[in-house]
Amino acid sequence: NFVTVSGDHTACLWDVSESSPKRVLTFSHHTRSVKTAVFRPTEPSVFATGARDGHILVWDIRANNHPAVILKPDNCLMS
């Protein structure tokens, strides 16, 4: 599996176990463009996304498209 992020405020989980990638889930709780995603190395069902809305959302793909944790860091620098 891998995750893509988009300017439409979403992240998508893809299944690549077959010859053609298939979108499995769409995560849509950000309010601005999503810029990054990273999986937790020790737990492949958990990943985080960061967006222009200043939020970091932590997702567990076993919980469908509801963020497990919502972080809004203070004094963050966006580039």
pLDDT per residue as tens digits for the range 27-75: 999 999 999 999 999 999 999 999 999 899 999 999 877 777 777 777 6
pTM of the entire predicted model: 0.83
Q: Do 9 and 57 meet the contact criterion of CB atoms below 8 Å apart?
A: no
Residue 37 backbone zone (phi > 0: left; psi -120 to 50: alpha; other: beta): beta
Single-letter residue type at 53: D
Predicted confidence (pLDDT) per residue in 33-44, tens digit: 999 999 999 999
